[in-house]
A and B are shown apart, each in its own frame.
Chain A
Amino acid sequence: MRTCSRNSLLTAAAATLLVSSGCKPVRIETPGADTEAAGKIRATLVSASSGGGETAAASTGTGWGTLKGRFVFAGTPGAPKALLADKDTEVCSKGGMKLLDRSLLVDGSTKGLANVVVFARKTSRVKEPPSSTPLVFDQKQCEFLAPVFAARVGQPIDVKNSDPIGHNTNISGSDFNQLIPAGGGTTYVPKAETGMPTMVTCNVHPWMKAYMVFRKDGYVAVSAADGSFAIPDLPAGEPLEFQVWHERSAGPNGALGLEKPDLKWTPKGRFTLTLAPDEVKDIGTLEVPASALGT
């Protein structure tokens, strides 16, 4: 009897063990999605189509103003690294000259921080249509001459190649990746805004790198060698939100976040202000701490 009870106990244990293992009726929908919320959204989506389209910002003011300022780098920029330029050396490193990393250009004397992009995010009106006189985007000695290049949508750009060797210019996220024959060139007319600046490369010489930013309204400026920038002819009398970008900044998508409470400067690298007609608003010297850049 004793043996029998023990035996049945043993088998029962085995059975329960087998049954319990791997037997959980789990039925999950898409993980992380809220199913009934999705149901509601779908209801609104399938509902009758709305006129929609882009809602242009309301035009509230008249006249035009100018925004200017100057970026300086608060910190010590290390010596720029030399780029690995191992192809076509007879051209790319002529006379042993080295191509340098240009992602952080600080003016020695003025401490000015070059190549900071400032543009207005949304505007209601523009002073004049894009000019048809082409801008020039040139490359020489395996380097794009302009590290950061701003243009207005609709304005033609002459992409040139002043080198004795062939290049190609590849504007990522655009429809443009063209052969640029030695000494030749082609014209590109940007069709769409880039949002944040987009990278330009030459696939033949992978170290070649630049950035381009296209804006519909053309309200965009790139800080000069001394760090100064100016955006003229901005629509006055309405709140304007500006976006600030730098290649090296630690913020999301290169947004340059600064501690500027007076301008309501956000971590997304934006500040807002309203210009009076014919005002030349100088937001003064903007100190960019080393921590703001991914140095």
Chain B
Amino acid sequence: MSRLSGILWSLLFLAVPVLGVATFAVAPAYDIWLPKDVSEHGKAIDGLFYFILALTGVVFIATEVLLFWFLWKYDAARNKNAATYIHGSHTLEVVWTIIPAATLLFLAIYQMNTWADVKMRRPAMSPSVEVVGRQFEWRLRYPGRDGTLGTADDLFLVNDLHVPADEDFLVQLKSMDVLHSFFLPNLRIKQDAVPGMKIPVWFKATETGQFDIVCAELCGWGHYKMKGRVTVESRADFDRWLESQYAKQEATQPEPDPSTAVARAE
């Protein structure tokens, strides 16, 4: 009985690395994995993610299997020889201090460049759009024809961000009331919007398509409904869209027929 229990328990601990690795192996098959990346810097981030995953994976498997092996081997019920009387080993301590230290330090330095690209090396340009977080929506303001924000020809929109592909795009991020976080999963962008601060966020989209804008910082009871949509499209489409929206904003006559208004809701 007690022999069996020792075996079972050690196997339970073996199950940890096995199932752990299995989960990560199976997840992508069910599309429970990094969403499609359509940004320039995203490659670097994903690469780093996989690199760390591999690194930690190795350590994870090694340590967990070791733990299992010790439990299996040194189970008192099945192993009669006395416990080793040892207080430690100086060499070992040094080894397993130096190696992780070196690895971690390497990791730290290795990733700095990516970080700088995403958060520190701001492209020299005036904001392409101003995004203002507000309970509970993303209010957008495009500079309009004159290219400067805060003039009478600004274009005002809600939740519907359009971005020209293959161009640097600079967002001026603000918040009107509380903290929000401007999260573009597919563009690998996340930045808190802080009341009283103007925070620049930039990226270069590489593929056209429609993607989610998510709020990733608790902003009140309606946090979950703060959904936006970013549409990446060619420069030509982008300009066309800009013009149509501007015409809509300046309308002095109703649409000829209500059904068009309905159509707009699509």
Q: Are A and B in contact, CB atoms below 8 Å, in the complex?
A: no
Residues of B within 8 A of A (CB): none
Residues of A within 8 A of B (CB): none
